[in-house]
Structure 1
């Protein structure tokens, strides 16, 4: 990272839009230690870094196509921004949402994801929201229990959602509303990935890895790592899993460590994919893969 504008910063999230172009949100450790809300933002485009700044702790990103193509970022306290060609909108998710929850909410967002082209934000105490307009989130968590801390969400569409979280909790949303799923684990599930074929994978603490087959969630006993799996993603027909230090490719019931060649990153954690490229982002490393060769961005 010494030869990039991110030197001395910690990457919070990075997302690829098209090959060679994406967005990086980072933080200054000194400002974090002082409790100063901020994010240092970069648009990366073919080797160029275009810097910006935000005055809230944006930590998670999602690319959307509705209500118009753009980038959505969220912070744990509920602050968000939606950036598109028509301009930038920022606000408080809890203020800009309906219907109002039975108990007022002031924080606890843990993730944002793009599903069917729309942004979905989830968090503690059974929270789930969908961004329908730049200044309007719709609360969709009626039916989720308040003791279910949601840590991740994915799905095939806005009418086919899976939410996972602490205690191994798994809930599914369809035209009947939210329904609890039988889970084979009590470990916190921190990521979920739904495939185009209709299968789903979830992972989390202790290296737990689950697969949903024919509507039943089962444990994949890979025996490869006890490290927390923070991210899952599919790229060119293969499924990948990331811990803080290692990127794996899932093959059958096992995990195979990805070979980065002579420039292995020291940190991983977040996987992002687009048509033709995959990014692996850690606290201090950002790598790009085109299906044949890895290259370093940061």
Structure 2
């Protein structure tokens, strides 16, 4: 567990908003400050923590309230191992165990720019950072401060409705590899990329796409609004769970021959095509919110702390209740 001294210095007064695994003993967190008034923007912290048997190396970068609104986080291997944090407006910060800093924002708003308007998600695929956004924007970070668009002529911009808005656009991206990716959002707006061109998946729903997991069983699991789940690949899709939750799943990931799902309300798994709530301790369930898988471990983190699962044992990292 993170020491009481480190908890008080770096985590107290903040809660875990996003998390990412670098290695089985190196983790990243985005923290948001607790604020008493809803109209007050919180300060943010980006944390790197390396846990060893007899030591804890922590690096913390703090950002004022006006920066990194709705920040998204991932851990990448290329061009070097580090965390990449991307804000809604395309601002970028990076961190490893020894360094933190800003990079040039992702260009947006002009024809051919990596982003049309906003950045809604960031993910690591084949070790590189990919970002998606409104109006079916897709881009990849190829070097520090350099992003290339993947939204070519095979990925048309969505049509505007009578209000000048679109009911399509990307909220999430995931992939088996750089030549086998899925991006989705909007009203059942799901697309597949084979490394050269995009093709639309005819998802039999108009529900909003919230999460995507490219699983180890070769299937793609799509988390929809209200916690509904579709399973399939390319042109064949089936609704395997009809949800009635207040919140959709925030993250879905594959570990130990099953899909894990989480939101602020709990932790679930998908086994044999069915969504179940596994028997977990109250200490583990209290960490519900976000999850990240890497290097053979799964990190679950949320409002009340963080815990790591290595396939056989849950190890608490920190708890707001300690």
What TM-score results when the alignment is normalised by the length of structure 1?
0.87
Q: 2:120 aligns with which of 96, 107, 110?
A: 110
C-alpha contact (below 8 Å) 2:216/2:254 kept by paired residues: no
Alpha-carbon separation, structure 2, partners of 1:75 and 1:32: 22
Q: In the alignment, which residue of structure 2 is the partner of 1:82?
A: 94
Instruction: Tell me: CA distance 1:259–1:8, structure 2 relative to 1, closer, same or farther (3 Å).
Output: farther
Return the offset for 1:180: 1.2
SS in 2 for 1:263: helix
SS in 2 for 1:167: coil
Return the offset for 1:30: 2.9
Task: Map 1:145-294 to 2 at 5 A.
Answer: 145-146=157-158, 147=166, 148-213=168-233, 215-221=235-241, 227-294=247-314
The question of 1:62 aligning with 2:74 is answered yes
SS in 2 for 1:153: strand
Q: In the alignment, which residue of structure 2 is the partner of 1:15?
A: 20
C-alpha contact (below 8 Å) 2:120/2:171 kept by paired residues: yes
Q: 2:46 aligns with which of 41, 47, 68?
A: 41
In structure 1, runs of 5+ residues without a counterpart are none
Instruction: Tell me: CA distance 1:193–1:32, structure 2 relative to 1, closer, same or farther (3 Å).
Output: farther
Alpha-carbon separation, structure 2, partners of 1:26 and 1:213: 35
Question: Which deviates the most, 267-276 or 219-228?
Answer: 219-228
Q: 2:129 aligns with which of 110, 119, 123?
A: 119
Spell out, residue by residue over 1:152-203, the C-alpha distance to the aligned partner (whole angstroms, 9 max, x if none): 0011222222111021211111255221111122211111111245321110
Return the offset for 1:288: 1.2
Question: How many residues in Structure 1 have an aligned counterpart in Structure 2?
Answer: 295
C-alpha contact (below 8 Å) 2:106/2:115 kept by paired residues: no
Alpha-carbon separation, structure 1, partners of 2:99 and 2:310: 31
Instruction: Tell me: CA distance 1:31–1:60, structure 2 relative to 1, closer, same or farther (3 Å).
Output: farther
Q: In the alignment, which residue of structure 1 is the partner of 2:84?
A: 72
Return the offset for 1:116: 1.2
Return the offset for 1:111: 0.6
Instruction: Tell me: CA distance 1:178–1:106, structure 2 relative to 1, closer, same or farther (3 Å).
Output: closer
CA RMSD of aligned residues (A): 3.0
In structure 2, runs of 5+ residues without a counterpart are 159-165
Question: Which deviates the most, 278-287 or 1-10?
Answer: 1-10
C-alpha contact (below 8 Å) 1:109/1:121 kept by paired residues: yes
C-alpha contact (below 8 Å) 1:38/1:57 kept by paired residues: no
The question of 1:138 aligning with 2:137 is answered no
Instruction: Tell me: CA distance 1:182–1:131, structure 2 relative to 1, closer, same or farther (3 Å).
Output: same
Instruction: Tell me: CA distance 1:139–1:251, structure 2 relative to 1, closer, same or farther (3 Å).
Output: same
What TM-score results when the alignment is normalised by the length of structure 2?
0.81
Spell out, residue by residue over 1:217-260, the C-alpha distance to the aligned partner (whole angstroms, 9 max, x if none): 21113668564112110112221111221111111132221333
C-alpha contact (below 8 Å) 1:120/1:129 kept by paired residues: yes
C-alpha contact (below 8 Å) 1:16/1:274 kept by paired residues: yes
C-alpha contact (below 8 Å) 1:222/1:254 kept by paired residues: no
The question of 1:6 aligning with 2:19 is answered no
C-alpha contact (below 8 Å) 2:116/2:137 kept by paired residues: no
